[in-house]
Amino acid sequence: MSSEPSTPSILERILAYASLTIIAVALLSFFATLIIGLNDRQTMAQGLWPFVYGVSLIGLPVGFVLLILLILLSQRRRRAEFRRGKRS
């Protein structure tokens, strides 16, 4: 059994960065709409703010799904590496 750590695939790296970015943007947009909404409710109904609010509604579930997919892919890779190491 080798003691060297396995490296994640390019797909796993893309999923990690994408999920982190999407979740961070969704949280920022949530806090921005919360702050703007508490200060001036009329501003929230016009301009770009409905889109920013929509990003916070859609971004978190999408980021969560990407995170679950990343966990599943990394576990599948580790299981395959374990089986290869066990046969050697």
Is the Cβ–Cβ distance between 28 and 1 less than 8 Å?
A: no
Locate all alpha helices (DSSP H) within the chain, ordered by sequence.
10-39, 41-44, 49-87
pLDDT (tens digit, 9 = 90+) per residue, 30-82? 999 999 888 888 888 888 889 999 999 999 999 999 999 999 999 999 998 88
Within 13 Å and on the Cβ side, how many CA atoms surround 30? 11
Type of residue at 58: I
Give me the pLDDT at residue 10, please.
Answer: 93
pTM (two decimals): 0.82
Distance of CA 43 to the CA centre of its chain: 29
- pLDDT of 47 reads 86
